[in-house]
A and B are shown apart, each in its own frame.
Chain A
Amino acid sequence: MTEVLLLEATDAFTSVAVRGRLDAAGVGEVDLSLTGQTVARRRPAVIDLTEVGFIASLGIGMLVAIAKSMRMHGVGVAVVAGPPVRTVLEMTHIAPLIPVVATREDALRALGVA
């Protein structure tokens, strides 16, 4: 099962973590929840995927949709990911829209809220 955990919600930013897999089944399980906890808050958001062991194009599409919605509200999103997932994200050239970094601190810096 894939799940979303709200780690921190301040006036400056939102931090959430996803655990599980972002395959087709996993995206179906967390899409609404992840969108609700990031886009709906209209604050810069860190999405921590360090406990995600697998991501496919549907999962990347979900992140892109979230980032585009947030950009419309003038806020950004950054992703923290470990090597296998980071490699997949980098292959699909999403960096101009979503910085993909190794640590939460790097993500907050990328969003300008560190």
Chain B
Amino acid sequence: MTPPLRWTFGPANAPNHLRAASDELDTILGEHRLPERTCFAARLVCEEIVLNALEHGGASFVTMELEPAKDPLVLVFEDDGASFDPEARAAERGPDATGEVSRRGRGLILVHGMSRGIRHHRDNGRNRLTIALVD
């Protein structure tokens, strides 16, 4: 059995590390003949979850794991930032008192729109998010 692929991100130079990871995801998932929509979803969810944990959660690291041959494709994130359960933040996906959706809210909308299931587990001061992507 192939071991899961793993990436680690930190606050330093996160945008460029994310771009490099996005390129790798595109190549790896393409080699596994996954639909373009799933590749796009993986890159988008990766960007949103990692930046959210680093910028809003104050995490010092975020890891992402995936097994490209698994169906459906599942991304597993772990970070040491503030507790963050996307499912408990449904209100942020709608407009605030000024009628606007916040940037974090937009990120949550995109993660939900690109996934078919999200599970959050908090253990030992760490968030573990398991996200099954759309086909």
Question: What are 24 of the A-B contact pairs (CB < 8 Å)?
Answer: A21-B19, A23-B22, A23-B47, A24-B15, A24-B18, A24-B47, A25-B16, A25-B19, A54-B22, A54-B40, A54-B44, A56-B48, A56-B51, A56-B110, A57-B103, A57-B104, A57-B106, A60-B103, A60-B106, A84-B40, A88-B110, A88-B113, A91-B113, A92-B110
Proximity bits, B45-58, A CB within 8 Å = 1, else 0: 00110010000000
Neighbouring B residues of A93 by C-beta, 8 Å: 101, 109
What chain A residues lie within 8 Å of B109 (beta carbons)?
Answer: 91-93
With A23-B22, A57-B107, A60-B106 in contact, do A28 and B15 touch (Cβ < 8 Å)? yes
Which of the listed residues A21, A54, A56, A60 has the most CB atoms from chain B within 10 Å of its own CB?
A56
- On chain A, the number of residues with a Cβ less than 8 Å from chain B's Cβ atoms is 17
Determine whether B126 belongs to the interface, using a CB cutoff of 8 Å to chain A.
no
Whether a CB of chain A sits under 8 angstroms from the CB of B120 is no
A58 and B51 contacting across the interface, CB-CB below 8 Å: yes
Main secondary structure of the interface of B (DSSP, over half): helix
Chain A residues within CB distance 8 Å of chain B = 21, 23-26, 28, 54, 56-58, 60-61, 84, 88, 91-93
B interface list, Cβ under 8 A from A:
14-16, 18-19, 22, 36-37, 40, 43-44, 47-48, 51, 101, 103-104, 106-107, 109-110, 113
**B37 CB contacts on chain A under 8 angstroms:** 84
B104: A residues at CB distance < 8 A: 57
New contact pairs (15) apart from A25-B16, A25-B18, A56-B51, CB-CB < 8 Å? A21-B19, A23-B15, A23-B19, A24-B14, A24-B15, A28-B15, A54-B22, A56-B47, A57-B48, A60-B106, A61-B103, A84-B40, A88-B113, A91-B113, A93-B101
CA distance A26 to B103 in the complex (A): 17
